[in-house]
């Protein structure tokens, strides 16, 4: 039995080394805007395939609530917002690692209806029709798509008149779901969101926005995985990451 002890000790050492390597594998949490859900899941899979030592966990929601979570100390390494305003607030609160903020994608705002809708909506003013009873709009106080929508309606002189019809949602994906289920006659979402449900919703037209729908990404200052967080952000901006985003309809920054 004694002649096997060196072999057993060697196996034990290798096992411990393997366990140690696994325990030190870099794992990061990425908080990203709801509209990035599908694209970022694919980016995460491709990233982990290219870097087997990495593990990416995602937290998807409206940008406003994500910022609140980070401000309250949630363990987040990377933040990707659907608008500049939310990232501006993160920067003003000192939550970002200096020099890591970059724009990585753009989008457009569209008006959608259920796929079988017969409503003749050609302009924002047409939403005042009597047969349009409910309109899904992200909460402008916390949801970027809601702010873009409100600004567009204000510019068109329709915001006040449409207030009785507005159903505030907590994310762009909730607006999409409301329209897809026929619970509202129309809704404002990003073009990329409308594209993932072509059988259930139909985009009628692009809504002009006062500001570009621009997405910034940054590393959080309190991250314990700065190196890994920055590597992931770089990957999002790399040709591989940009190819995935463009496949889902996002345009380059």
Residues within the annotated binding site for molybdate? 35, 63, 172, 190
Q: Across the strands, what pairs with 202?
A: 113
Q: Tell me the binding residues.
A: 35, 63, 172, 190
- φ/ψ of 75, rounded to 5, equals -75, 80
Query: How far is CA 234 from each of CA 113, 217, 231, rounded to the nearest angstrom?
Result: 37, 10, 5
Residue 208 DSSP label: P
Q: Across the strands, what pairs with 109?
A: 190, 207
Quick check: 85 and 144 in contact, CB under 8 A?
yes
107, 123, 125: which is closest to 211 by C-alpha?
Answer: 107
Q: How far apart are CA 24 and CA 18, in angstroms?
A: 10
Element (H, E) at 192: helix 191-195
* Strand boundaries in the chain, DSSP class E: 26-33, 54-61, 78-80, 102-107, 109-114, 135-138, 166-169, 186-190, 201-207, 213-219
88, 25, 144, 223: which is closest to 233 by C-alpha?
Answer: 223
């Amino acid at each position: 039995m004694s002649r096997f002890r060196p072999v057993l000790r060697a196996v034990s050492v290798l096992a411990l080394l393997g366990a140690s390597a696994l325990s030190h594998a870099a794992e990061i949490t990425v908080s990203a805007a709801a509209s990035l859900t599908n694209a970022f899941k694919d980016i995460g899979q491709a990233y982990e395939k290219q870097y087997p030592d990495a593990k990416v966990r995602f937290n998807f929601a409206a940008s406003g609530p994500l910022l609140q979570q980070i401000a309250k100390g949630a363990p987040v390494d990377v933040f990707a917002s659907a608008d500049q305003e939310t990232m501006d607030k993160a920067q003003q609160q000192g939550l970002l690692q200096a020099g890591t903020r970059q724009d990585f994608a753009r989008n457009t705002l569209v008006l959608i209806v259920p796929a079988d809708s017969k409503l003749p909506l050609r302009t924002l003013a047409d939403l005042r029709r009597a047969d349009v009873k409910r309109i899904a709009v992200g909460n402008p106080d916390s949801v970027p798509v809601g702010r873009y929508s409100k600004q567009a309606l204000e510019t068109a002189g329709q915001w006040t008149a449409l207030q009785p019809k507005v159903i505030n949602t907590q994310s762009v994906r909730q607006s999409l779901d409301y329209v897809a289920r026929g619970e509202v006659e129309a809704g404002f979402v990003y073009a990329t969101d409308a594209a993932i449900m072509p059988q259930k919703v139909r985009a009628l037209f692009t809504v002009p926005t006062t500001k570009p729908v621009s997405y910034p990404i940054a590393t959080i200052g309190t991250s314990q995985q700065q190196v890994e967080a920055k590597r992931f952000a770089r990957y999002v901006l790399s040709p591989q990451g940009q190819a995935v985003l463009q496949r889902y309809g996002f345009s380059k920054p």
